[in-house]
Amino acid sequence: MNEAVRGNSLWADARQSLRRNRAAMTAMAIMAVVCALVLLAPLLSAYEFDSTDWDQISEPPSLVTGHWFGTDDVGRDLFVRTLYGGRISLLVGLAATLVSLVIGIAWGATAGYIGGRTDQVMMRTVDVVYAMPFMFFVILLMVFFGRNILLIFVAVGAVNWLDMARIVRGQTLSLKKKEFIEAARAGGVSNFNIVRRHIVPNLLGVVIVYVTLTIPQVILVESFLSFLGLGVQEPMTSWGALVNDGAQAMESAPWALIFPALFLALTLFCFNFLGDGLRDALDPRDRRASG
């Protein structure tokens, strides 16, 4: 068989238009740097995240001492703490997003594909949960069961799945009406294979965009809790907890607020920009308009 021409899949097209999006590419580059820093944290500084340097309490940033971001009020190096805090924040972001992803896709795709009564009941449930003041519940949980990082994952993930479920369901419903799904049904393809071969790959674009936009939301929630003093436990820390500490000392030691705040905002900023860029790249609507 002679070699056939390679086609340009929609993925390839999306990659191309993403590459053209300068904001998104910059965001990606910055995110890569932040991730690298966070991962390599122990190698980058001579200090431990929980070791106290009694001679260097609330020191401003200095290249000489090696406390590049200064120290906090008990003399811990803020550079290392910021990076370690980033580990927690990013980890929570990823893990909780994963939780919401799994629940949301399963729930939304089931409701959308089966439709009818099942759909109504399932989506009604989502509506009800949606109406709950969930932040208050999360705060309660934190207060009553102690600050448990696992609990944060579960609590945040269990709430964010609602949006995911709605989006996936909507998308599934509209896909189901597409003629290529009908063609597959007319061609005797089983339900399972229709979902596997046709629905899931076509959902992927939306899901990727949404995941990118969920991660910063989750990070935000975690830092919100940490800010209230309900997040991770000392001596571990997260960006939110650091911002909280920094805010209390901001008049005497502004660096303790500024560096963690900068990392937090920058990361959220990048995720949001990337999400926007991905949405533009993967949005099938514009593709057809230009044709």
Partner 1 sequence: MSVQMAARPNDDPLLRVEGLSVSYPGGQPDQQTIHAVRNLSFVIAAGETLGIVGESGSGKTQSALSLMGLLPETALKAGSAIFAGRDLLSLDDGKLNQIRGSAISMIFQDPMTSLNPHIAIGRQMSRVLERHQGMSRRTALKVAAEMLDAVRVPDAADRLRQYPHELSGGMRQRIMIATALLCKPQLLIADEPTTALDVTVQAQILTLMHDLQHELGTAILLITHDMGVVAGLCDRVLVMRDGQMRECGSVNKVFYESQDNYTRELLAAVPRLDEVQPRRLAVVGDSEAEATADIDSRPVGDTMLTVDKLEVRFSAGRPGPFRPVQFLHAVAGVSLELGRGETLGIVGESGCGKSSLARGVLQLVDVHAGRVTLLGEELGMLDKQRLKQRRRQMQIIFQDPLASLDPRMTIADIVAEPLHTFFPTMSRTRQLVKVKAILERMGLEAGYMNRYPHEFSGGQCQRIGIARALIAEPELVICDEPVSALDVSVQAQIVNLLMDLQQDMGLALIFIAHDLAVVRHISHRVMVMYLGRIAEVADRDALYNSPRHPYTQALISAVPIPDPRVERNRDRTLLAGDVPSPLEPPSGCAFRTRCPLADARCAAETPGLRTAGESLVACHHA
Partner 2 sequence: MDGGAARLDAHAHTAQNRTMLSFAFRRFLSAIPTLLILIALAFALIRVAPGGPFDTEKQIPPEIEARLNEAYHLDEPLYQQFGRYLTGLAQGDFGPSFQYKDFTVTELIAAGFPVSLKLGGLAMLLALLVGISVGTLAALRQNSRTDHVAMAAAMTGISIPNFVLAPLLVLLFAVTLRWLPAGGLGDGSLINLVLPVISLALPQIAYIARLTRGSMIEVLRSDFIRTARAQGLPGREIILGHALKPAMLPIVSYLGPATAGIITGSVVIEQIFGVPGLGRYFVQGALNRDYTLVMGVVVFYGVLIIMFNFLVDLAYRWLDPRVKL
The three-class DSSP label of residue 89 is helix
d(CA 205, CA 235): 40
Contacts of 122 (CB under 8 A, 6+ apart): 107, 110, 111
The item of partner 2, partner 1, none sharing an interface with residue 284, based on CB under 5 to 8 Å by kind, is: partner 1
> Toward partner 1, which CB reaches closer, 133 or 187?
187
Helices (H), 115-238: 116-130, 134-145, 149-176, 179-186, 191-193, 200-227
Residue type, 42: P
Per-residue binder mask for partner 1 (CB under 8 A), 111-140, x = binder: ---------x--------------------
Given phi > 0 = left and psi -120 to 50 = alpha, else beta, which region is 115?
Answer: left
224 near partner 2, judged by CB under 8 A: yes
d(CA 120, CA 101): 21
The three-class DSSP label of residue 13 is helix
| Residue with token string 């609330």 | 58
Closest by Cα among 44, 47, 86, 82 to 246: 82
188 near partner 1, judged by CB under 8 A: yes
69 near partner 2, judged by CB under 8 A: no
15 near partner 1, judged by CB under 8 A: no
224-232 long-range contacts (CB < 8 A, ≥24 apart) are 224/135, 225/138, 225/139, 225/142, 225/152, 228/139, 230/139, 230/142, 230/143, 230/147, 231/142, 231/147, 231/152, 232/88, 232/147, 232/149, 232/152
Contacts of 32 (CB under 8 A, 6+ apart): none
> Toward partner 1, which CB reaches closer, 19 or 247?
19
How many Cβ atoms from other residues are within 10 Å of residue 168's Cβ?
27
39 near partner 2, judged by CB under 8 A: no
Q: What's the closest the beta carbon of residue 70 comes to partner 2, in angstroms?
A: 16
223 near partner 2, judged by CB under 8 A: yes
d(CA 104, CA 206): 13
Residues 7, 43, 46, 55: which binds partner 1 (CB under 8 A)?
Answer: 7
Per-residue binder mask for partner 2 (CB under 8 A), 246-275, x = binder: xx--xx--x--x---x--xxx-xx--xx--
Q: What's the closest the beta carbon of residue 19 comes to partner 1, in angstroms?
A: 11
Q: What's the closest the beta carbon of residue 22 comes to partner 1, in angstroms?
A: 13
- Cis-peptide, bond into residue 235, ω within 30° of zero: yes
227 near partner 2, judged by CB under 8 A: yes
The item of partner 2, partner 1, none sharing an interface with residue 131, based on CB under 5 to 8 Å by kind, is: partner 2
Q: What's the closest the beta carbon of residue 197 comes to partner 2, in angstroms?
A: 32
160 near partner 2, judged by CB under 8 A: no
Residues 20, 35, 124, 265: which binds partner 1 (CB under 8 A)?
Answer: 20
Contacts to partner 1 by CB under 8 A: 1-2, 4-11, 20, 120, 178-180, 182-190, 193, 197-198, 201-202, 284, 287-288, 291
Contacts to partner 2 by CB under 8 A: 127-128, 131-133, 135-137, 139-141, 143-145, 216, 220, 223-224, 227-228, 240, 243-244, 246-247, 250-251, 254, 257, 261, 264-266, 268-269, 272-273, 276
